[in-house]
Amino acid sequence: MHRQAYVFLCLTTLFWGGNAVASRLAVGHVSPMMLTTLRWVIGCALLAAFAWPHLRRDWPEIRPKLPLLAALGTLGFTGFNAVFYSSAQFTSAINIAIEQGAVPMVIFVANFVLFRQRVSFLQIAGFVLSLVGVALVASHGAFSRLLDLNVNFGDALMLVAVLLYAGYTVGLRLKPNIHWLSLMFVLSFFALLASLPLVAWEIATDRLIAPDFQGWMVVFYVVLFPSIFAQTLYIRGNELIGGNRAGLFINLVPIFGTLLSIVILREAFFTYHAVALFMVLGGIWMAEHGGRKLASRASGRKVEPGFGNSDAPPTG
């Protein structure tokens, strides 16, 4: 079970790393709020045909949870992406990479405060190691550069984005026990509704940029990969191993973003990229091993090779 979760979460962060590259390719070709709105317009259209039979069956479970699902779709889908894209207008990619690495720690703290979910020493150590790897990439191999970073409005926006996605991850444990297509459609629908005022604001303030050919290519990428595929895999990964353990994989996003920038944008590859990748993967392994041991102790079972436990409810 845990190996399947690892594959799902690695693919999720790969697609999200590609989203960072796509956001750079979108500059001047489609505006941030238009991109956010189009991804959910097209996403809902694609999901509707496949999700409808499941929606009809799952509606009794969905209806009492509509306020929760509306909050998750608004905060985790539209809110995070709108703030994330906007922060890039005011701060550096270095700042964004470091600040995004705070998501797993916020998840740890929120799960402890709200649900008294324990965190093992190995999970904390693994988080720290992986965060150092993220900082290594973000500082381009020179930690002294981190001292020169200036906090500005973009950094404040990115911290809001961190809180939004951490809150979304923690909130997933409260979702109804329904089919993943039903869940994705409902979340995407509320994300679409939440994005409409944002694109209306862009129109009213003459900030709207309608997509050209490159803009449409970016739109279709973010619809299929960071939106539908990644969000679905992230939800499933949370179900399999829980929010604390799944959230740590978010530290792979800046690593994959860097590697994809090298491949797609022809940026240079340095030794620190390889070192950071090993640190992040090593940190995830440590934290995941600690999470499995903690889950095993809680259930009274011995951790066996190839066996994982989940602290999240099963899916429908």
136 neighbors 272 (Cβ within 8 angstroms): yes
Specify the pTM: 0.74
Instruction: Give the number of other Cβ atoms within 10 Å of residue 159's Cβ.
Output: 17
Q: Quick one: pLDDT at residue 138?
A: 65
For the chain, 316 residues long, give each residue's pLDDT as a single digit of tens. 678 888 999 999 899 888 878 877 888 899 989 999 998 999 999 999 899 999 999 999 999 999 999 999 999 999 998 888 787 777 666 566 666 767 777 787 788 788 877 777 887 888 788 778 777 776 767 777 767 766 568 778 888 888 998 899 889 889 999 998 899 999 999 999 999 999 999 999 999 999 999 999 999 999 999 888 988 898 888 888 877 778 778 778 877 877 787 788 776 677 877 787 788 778 777 877 777 777 676 665 544 333 233 333 333 3
Structure tokens at 65: 């949870």
Q: Quick one: pLDDT at residue 316?
A: 32
Q: How far is CA 16 from the centre of its chain?
A: 7
CA–CA separation, 176 vs 66, rounded Å?
10
CA–CA separation, 117 vs 10, rounded Å?
24
CA–CA separation, 98 vs 85, rounded Å?
16
